[in-house]
Amino acid sequence: MTWTDTAADKVERLEKTIPAEWRLAAPPTDKNVIDYPKTAKILTDKELEITGSSAVELVAQITTGKLSAVEVTTAFSKRAAIAHQLTNCALELFPDVALERAKYLDDYYTKNGKALGPLHGLPISLKDQFRIKGIETSMGYVSWIGKVETGNSTLVDLLLNAGAVLHVKTSVPQSLMFGETINNIIGRTVNPRNKNMSCGGSSGGEGALVSLRGSLIGVGTDIGGSVRIPAAFNFLYGLRPSHGRLPYYGAANSMAGQETIHSVLGPLCHSMADLRLFMTSVLEQQPWLYDSKVIPMPWRQSEEDAVNKKIQNKSLTIGFYSFDGLVHAQPPIQRGIETAVSALKAAGHRVEPWKVYKPEVGLPLLEKIFGADGGADIYGDIEKSGEPALPNFSANVPKRPKMDLNDTWAMNLDKWQYQCQYLASIREFEAETGVELDAIIAPVAPHATVKHDQYKYVGFSGLVNLLDFTSVVVPVTFADQAVDVEISDFEPANELDAAVQADYDAEVYHGAPVAVQVIGRRLSEEKTMSIAAELGRLLGNTIVS
């Protein structure tokens, strides 16, 4: 059996999980399909209302008996099936398993008169790194197809303990190591607002699915921007927490055991309220009792209250940049930064330019860490099936000699030194200004989504991972060809900067989502999330229908 046969069999099995009555008669030819679920005549009016709600609203309705878990799960299972047919976003659809779970939760509620937990009856989608007993995890590798899990990732157990329903596992790029989503199993996942553009990666399946409301809370992972890039490209909120805040144990991964830069999990949502619901619900389950790397740190309401007081007193101090010293953001993103800065200033907060500390040191170090094994782990999984390495991946992680142990130790020390030097730059800023730096506003990527196979620069997102800072994506606006014109007298800082700017075409990017990230210090989730929520409120993006 060839690798193409194995992949084709997987696709056939995936398609069979979609009931005939949930299938599109003829997929639309329009580039923009974001509103198509409303007109596809598959969802009832009530199901459209359910899937158009927020997660917070739905949990409240389920736990007061106004809606059943089965009703809600049916609606989201149908909408997820539609989303997959529109964007190719799923690697696993399991509505039968989800509905069985929903029925159990309804029976529990009837018998006990109370909810099982804070997520009772809420469907949640997962990136196909999270293991669910009885369901495959292929993670974009053909050689992994057929691996049925015998146990759950820690996060899966905790979500189930909290009352969640799991209904979809979403697509990822081969290797996970680039900012788009394409693999040799199901092909490319596209952006529902423009199918000619990227949905981001590596949690791109989550970005497309949540954008189309096939889920309201999708869980991705982030080692170089893999939650934040899909959130930004799909006009969603997204959280990259610091390592040690949420449980990763039992999740599949490429380069498992690489611990110089940790991959972390985080949610993609339509609102900060839903993002907060996810965080508080998981932390309520005391994940540090199950994953030894999780810090025993419950949700710190005092931290949230303290920053909210600063918000009320109009006393935040925020740094910002759209050029990190290596690459300039394209015009829509520059306008997004300016819009966020103007909103904060108008609300009375202090906003100051921020100079990124030596990106010419940090970014090469990031690339060195990711290539430390010479690509052996990833190429090994690719070559087992005979599938080809996709150009997107091989360009980022070429085969090279492995680093020896002493070189690896030296690299770890370089990372530690850079992190401490970055903290020193923050202290210097605070000494000069006489105020505490609360957060930094920055691009997630240089572009508002990107043309397929054209993702060139991960520096804006990846540096956050090197520092292990907390970051929250906030949607701002949409690219507008009338105002986001090409810069005629642009002077690039280097060849990469020139190439990134040359990719911009105002007409092609028109309508693309524009987002920023709010960056806080390590383990500052409560504070950074509150600042992001305030920025979203000021921008009018508290929830996106």
State the DSSP string of 44-107.
Answer: -HHHHHHHTS-HHHHHHHHTTTSS-HHHHHHHHHHHHHHHHHHH--EEEE-HHHHHHHHHHHHH
Q: How far is residue 262's CA from residue 295's CA, in Å, rounded to a whole number? A: 14
Which of 10, 78, 127, 415 is an active site residue? 127
pLDDT at 459: 97
Measured CA to CA, the distance from residue 189 to residue 182 in angstroms comes to 6
The residue with tokens 């498992």 is: 256
The yes-or-no answer on residue 53 being catalytic is no
Please state which CATH class domain 303-539 belongs to. alpha beta
Instruction: Please determine whether the domains at 3-12+34-289 and 303-539 fall in the same fold group of CATH.
Output: yes
pLDDT at 544: 39
The verdict on whether residue 224 carries a ligand-binding annotation is yes
Pick the CATH number of 3-12+34-289 from 1.25.40.10, 3.40.1590.10, 3.90.1300.10, 3.30.43.10: 3.90.1300.10
DSSP for 6-20, written as a single string: HHHHHHHHHHHTS-G
Write down the catalytic residue from 68, 77, 226, 254: 226
How far lies 209's CA from each of 86, 200, 381, 454, 541, in Å?
Answer: 10, 12, 27, 22, 19
CA-to-CA dists, residue 343 to 109, 278, 349, 482, angstroms: 44, 27, 9, 21
Omega before 271 cis (within 30°)?
A: no
Span 411-420, pLDDT tens digits: 999 999 999 9
pTM of structure: 0.98
Letter for the amino acid at 40?
Answer: A
Is it the case that residue 543 has pLDDT exceeding 60? no
Catalytic site residue from 153, 171, 202, 461: 202
Give Cα 57 distance to the centre of its chain.
22
Do the annotations mark residue 292 as ligand-binding?
Answer: no
Q: Is 425 annotated as a binding residue?
A: no
The two structure tokens encoding residue 241: 């927490």
pLDDT at 545 over 60: no
Q: What percent of the chain has pLDDT over 70?
A: 99
Helices (H), 138-271: 154-161, 204-211, 228-233
**Which letter does DSSP use for residue 172 in this model?**
-
Q: How many CB atoms lie within 10 A of CB 306?
A: 14
Do 173 and 390 form a contact (C-beta atoms < 8 A)? yes
Residue 392: the pLDDT is 79
Task: Give the pLDDT confidence of 284-320 residue by residue, as tens digits.
Answer: 999 999 999 999 999 999 999 999 999 999 999 999 9
State yes or no: is 127 an active-site residue: yes
| Confidence grade of residue 394 (pLDDT, cut at 50, 70, 90) | low
Instruction: Answer yes or no: is pLDDT of 393 > 80.
Output: no
The yes-or-no answer on residue 202 being catalytic is yes
Tens digit of each residue's pLDDT (9 = 90 or more) over 32-88: 999 999 999 999 999 999 999 999 999 999 999 999 999 999 999 999 999 999 999
Q: How far apart are CA 354 and CA 442, in angstroms?
A: 9
Length of the chain: 545
- In this prediction, residue 396 carries a pLDDT of 67
Q: Strand 165-170 relative to strand 123-127: parallel, antiparallel, unpaired?
A: parallel
The reply to whether 182 sits in an annotated binding site is: no
Domain spans, the chain: 3-12+34-289, 303-539
> Each residue of 158-201: pLDDT tens digit?
999 999 999 999 999 999 999 999 999 999 999 999 999 999 99
Helix (H) or strand (E) holding 311: helix 301-312
pLDDT digits over 437-487, tens only?
Answer: 999 999 999 999 999 999 999 999 999 999 999 999 999 999 999 999 998
pLDDT above 60 for 156: yes
Average pLDDT, the chain: 97
What does the longest C-alpha to C-alpha distance in the chain come to? 70
Return the closest-CA partner of residue 87 out of 6, 4, 170. 170
What pLDDT is stored for residue 542 in this prediction?
60
Pairing of strands 123-127, 90-93: unpaired
